[in-house]
Structures are given as C-alpha cells and as structure tokens.
Amino acid sequence: MECRACDSHPTQSARNLVGHPLDRCVWSSLTTRHAAEAIGNPRALRYHPDYGPFAAAADSSAENLAALSALVRSRGPISTVEAEETETPPGTQVVKRAPCFQMIGEKIDLADGDLIPLNLCDTDAKDMLALATLTNPGPFAARTNRLGEFIGLRRAGHLVAMAGERMKPDAYTEISGVCSHPDYRGRGYAGELTRLAAKRIIMRGEIPFLHVFAANTSAIKLYEKLGFVLRRESNTDYLSALVVLLRRALPRRKRLCHGEHVRMKNPRSEQASGGDRAPHNPSEPLSGYWPPVQDRDKPCC
C-alpha cells in the first residue's frame, strides 16, 4: 500500500541498511531530511513526481524491488542512482543507463568573489523550469526548486544562470540544477554559482557533493578546479513501466505469383451494383485490380 512517507516513516532497521549515506544517496535522503517529500512505504520510496523522478528500494530483495516497481506503475518513470549494480525491478525496463561520478567538495574556496547572485524562490519557479528545460542540467520538475536553496543571475530581466540544492542525505547536500543560458556561456557563471552554492552549504555545517555524467569531461574539470574530488563511480538508470504489446494472430497473406492479381474492393461499384463485381473481362482495364498494369512485372514482396 502506497503512503506518504511523512505518515509512515521507514523503520530504523531500514535506515541501517545503508553504509555511508552517499553510497545510496536517494534512499538516505528520502529516509532523513527529505522524508516529508517521499512517497511509498518502508520497502521503496520515491520523490513526488513534481519534485523529481528519483527513487530507491530499501535493498535488492525481491519484495522491495516489487514495491519499487509498483511506484513506477502508479506514479510514472523513475531514476535510480546506485553505486552497485542492481537488478531491474519486475515489470520495468531500463530506458537509459548512464555512468556518473559522485564528487565531494573538500577544498572549496570560501572567498566572497565579485559575482552577487539572487536568491531564487517560488516566484522564479517558472523561469527556473524554462531554463532547465532549455539546457537540460538533469531532472528538473515543477517543484524541484523547493528541495533546497537556489541562486541565480538575471540579465535584462531574464534568468540566465542558476545553481541549487537537491538531495540531502544526513549531513550532506547535493548541488544540482547548474546551468547557463546558451547566450551567456563562457562567462564563468556556472562555475562561480556552483562555488557559491557549495560555500553556503559549508557555512551551514554541511558537506557539498554532486553528480556528473562520466562522459562530461569539461564539467568534471570545472568541478575539480573548484575543489571537488571524485568519491566513487555510480550508475544512473532511467526506468519506465514495461509495455507488452499483444498482437492479434492474423491469417497469413497469400504470396502472389507472377501474373496473378488480387481484386481490390471498390465500395462505390459494389454499392451501385448491389453486390460483388463480375469476374474480370479481358477487354476492360485493370484499374480495380492489384498490382496495377504498370507494376505487374515487379516482385510481389
């Protein structure tokens, strides 16, 4: 039975299945600081789709994977982030699998800098979603901005860059939603906003971390320059419900030999004559038959 996690918190034993909080950051976040945003039960949890698609099972047991599958069927596609390879939940399919690096901020420069960002809030949500949709920094839904603090830059009234917070497992906070409008790239906005977001996290006594696709070498170099170091490799799987298409058994079509023709029904002529047409008269054109005269020398199939 599905329920709001805030109404039925996972048991302490379920929380203890996790070693380091970042090893299974989705489950850690949904059972601690983001429990109020979780949907599911002690076997499997996910963020409400308005916050994002991330989900996790308590462990890889058959019962818990079945519970995760139920969340996919009832609430739509999910994304999982797991350090260890896991079985695909029954009744689901992997639409996309992408290796990623989990990086942790250990040497962040805490200087103020020259860039003064804006604190983004619900009044900016529409512009934030539009910028994320344009630049695709990762999953970003209508209420993702409510998962943590977001900062951004506006130019001529338009939001051109932003960075913010997403998952919050225990004492860690993930930096996410880092993006810049294509017309404003190359100005260092994304890097500086990432550094400032990390600084805010550190000043609260928390530890910043982030995920980056392994193929995004330019972003990895930027994060290393900012003071992030590789913690471990993970896999991001995008899962949807498995759709089985049942095809009705149809009679096999007769393979035509050279010179044979299949008469095509002509509703007008049949309606006018009140029934089937008479057999073909050699003196009449073959317009009502298939193949047409000009194609009769071509292979049938």
pLDDT tens for each residue of 72-87? 999 999 999 998 888 9
pTM of the predicted structure, to 2 decimals = 0.76
Nearest to 52 by CA among 43, 39, 65, 64: 39
C-beta of residue 74 within 8 angstroms of C-beta of residue 58: no
Contact (Cβ atoms closer than 8 angstroms) between residue 239 and residue 80: yes
* DSSP helix/strand/coil, 210: strand
Rg (CA), the chain: 29
Write down the pLDDT at residue 85.
85
pLDDT band at 244 (very low <50, low <70, confident <90, very high): low
Domains and CATH numbers, the chain: 3-99 (3.40.630.30), 104-235 (3.40.630.30)
pLDDT digit string, tens, across residues 14-48 = 444 458 999 999 999 999 999 999 999 999 999 99
Question: What distance in Å separates the CA atoms of residue 46 and residue 37, rounded to the nearest whole number?
Answer: 8
